[in-house]
Structure 1
Amino acid sequence: MKTCTETHRYSLNGETMGTRYTAVFYAEAGLDTDAINRGLAEAVGRVDQQMSICKADSDLNRLNAAPEQVWLPVPTELATVLAAALRVGQQSGGAFDIAVGDVVDAWGFGPGTPSITEQTIDALPSRSSLSATAALTVDTQRQQVRKRAPLQLNLNAIAKGFGVDELARCLDGFGLTRYLVGIDGEMRARGTKPDAHPWVVAIEKPCRGAREVMGIMELSDAAIATSGDYRHWIDVKGRDYAHTINPATGAPLCNTLAAVTVVAASCMLADAWATALMVLGESEGPRLAQARGMDALFVLREGDQLKEISIVGGILQAQIENRPTPPRPRT
């Protein structure tokens, strides 16, 4: 007689990258999760140690401090992320650029950087340094990198997504085939739940100082990431400056986009492209998403209204006016 194996829902989590990772999966009842949890923690721990701008001894900071024109050995994971960042930079026409570390620090968004004031904003220099695509060479086969000019790299717009992919790879290694993993709002799903329904992910409404669900997204064998102006920002004399930097101007974004959500095969690419499309703005962003056949949701802020532009497989699906959004609370 064939025996039916009972399926159980497991949920694991831990600290990483200044926030928490989560892993929800289905497997047979009685599974020993200690080894899985250790594997998850080690997976994201490697990413954090290699790519954190906050850790003085990270591989990324070692690369930032390295001299120009010298090949520097780097771990496989870091080489993979750097190469992907350069590809997205090229494909987005420079909208995605990891060589903005100095600008991020200058605007007060880096680790340990002083608060910015109206006077320091006026004194900030215009963007003049080379882009990463112009000044960085990555040899993934030999796992080495060379800077051709001084660069301060920042991987905050892609490393978290890669960390989610590493969580997925860890669960794959344990033979798990039904899971949802995430770090903050960056998520990746494999398979479906036992009832054959896809995983459901909430899309946040872009409101500062509040948490409100704007909608949901169903995921199966895909990843999702969001870039927005509503989680990290500074207020100088009543004017808000979001943390995402426009590489072309060397200043925080100045467009009507409140958030961009991207669905892709990997969370690393979803993370990077969400930032790139956010930088491109309300006109060029949807245009490029359509041209590349992407799945993306653009949320525009027009006065006290939010407007959604949804693109699925490169096809404009909807352009919807939402109800008024409440005024942004100050913190």
Structure 2
Amino acid sequence: MNRVLIPLTMAQPPTIPADAHIAGLAGASMGTTWSVKLVLPAGIFAEQIQSGVQQRLDQVVSQMSTWLDSSDLSRFNRAQSGSWHVLPEEFFKVLDYACYVAQQSNGAYDPTVGPLVNLWGFGPDGPGSACGDMPTAEDISAALERKGWTRLRLDRLQRRAFQPGGIYVDLSSIAKGYGVDHVAEYLQQQGVQSYLVEVGGELRGYGSKPDGDPWWVALEQPLPSAAEQAGDTAVPAFPPTIVALHELSIATSGDYRRFFDIDGKRYAHTIDPRTGYPVPHALASVAVLHASCMIADALATALTVLGVEEGMQYARQHDIAALFVSRSEAGFEEKMSPACKAMLE
């Protein structure tokens, strides 16, 4: 039997005509896929919305991708030491919030983690361990010397960022979530009153379907490892959880999305900026629910780095709706933050 989460602040969704139909759109961006389900307004064609959604996501890539040499972010990362740079509005907004989460989490989240991401083979600048090579302690120490969000300086009045020299910003842990919000904003500007946006597994919904139901979405469950699949305890001991996505977003961070194994040990793509190593604890996934997918995306990464105990304390302190799933000898175990439990129907 499913568990149901309902947003506590959910307003009455707009009324959708019973004879309206749902259109489905899809494409590719940010090294992954995107999809949109929506109720098309009168006079608006699916092809028009498809083009607009792709343009919005292409804009995020052109500003914030480390994989694109010509992006605004790549140019900032290559910039001369001691230089100030006026950033596009969207880029600045994302970087500003990333630095806020870094400050709030005492560096468990750090947008300047890029050198470590590359070193471990999860970025564009080298094969690293994702191809089977373990970084040396010396390599990790050198990469740690290059990071540090406190070295970034932001000028909010002029929308500028300061490159102190050698700083390599990586916004992969927040840009997808922002892309979802950016698309949702576009849809609302077009008069769309009901939609479900998904980019690489991060989602945001608004309104209801023609039958009156909200956009129901199941929270991602972590995948068991090969060893767990071979045993008898790999199946989660908790029921599936579905969420009514009206004025709500979901972002999930998990060790099963991108990882590699060396000598039977799993190394996930989430790097702890404080140590320079992939997070070592048994946390398999963290799902965060928030009105903003950008915020949910960044918080899911921060809570993954913090782990269950510190992460739960942080979630309580900041009233974050989060679901933690950990691996144990008995299989998967979960813990809900108080804000998440309060949404249970």
Aligned to 1:100: 113
Write the deviation string for residues 75-107 of structure 1: whole angstroms up to 9, x where unpaired: 111011000101111112211101111111111
The alignment partner of 2:83 has SS state of coil
Contact 2:98 2:111 in 1 (8 A): yes
Aligned to 2:321: 295
The alignment partner of 1:24 has SS state of strand
Aligned to 2:140: 125
Aligned to 1:85: 98
Aligned to 1:73: 86
Deviation of the 1:146 alpha carbon: 0.7
| Aligned mates of 2:28, 2:225 — CA distance in 1 | 23
Aligned to 1:326: none
Indicate whether 1:147 and 2:163 are aligned.
Answer: yes
For structure 1, the 5+ residue unaligned runs are: 319-331
CA RMSD of aligned residues (A): 2.3
Aligned to 1:194: 210
The alignment partner of 2:145 has SS state of coil
Residue 208 to residue 114, structure 1, CA distance change in 2 (3 Å):
farther
Write the deviation string for residues 259-285 of structure 1: whole angstroms up to 9, x where unpaired: 000001110000000000010011000
The alignment partner of 1:252 has SS state of coil
Contact 1:76 1:140 in 2 (8 A): no
Q: Percent identity?
A: 39
For structure 2, the 5+ residue unaligned runs are: 1-16, 227-234
Deviation of the 1:196 alpha carbon: 2.9
Normalized per residue, the structure richer in helix is 2
| Aligned mates of 2:176, 2:134 — CA distance in 1 | 33
Contact 1:97 1:131 in 2 (8 A): yes
Letter in 1 for 2:206: R
Aligned to 1:283: 309
The alignment partner of 2:319 has SS state of coil
The alignment partner of 1:82 has SS state of helix
Query: Which stretch of the first structure deviates more once superposed, 220-229 or 146-155?
Result: 146-155
Deviation of the 1:120 alpha carbon: 3.5
Contact 2:108 2:272 in 1 (8 A): yes
Indicate whether 1:114 and 2:124 are aligned.
Answer: no
Deviation of the 1:251 alpha carbon: 0.8
Contact 1:138 1:144 in 2 (8 A): yes
**Higher relative contact order, chain-length normalized (CA < 8 Å, sep 6+):** 2
TM-score for the superposition, normalised by structure 1: 0.88
Aligned to 2:245: 219
| Aligned mates of 1:246, 1:119 — CA distance in 2 | 16
TM-score for the superposition, normalised by structure 2: 0.84
Aligned to 1:265: 291
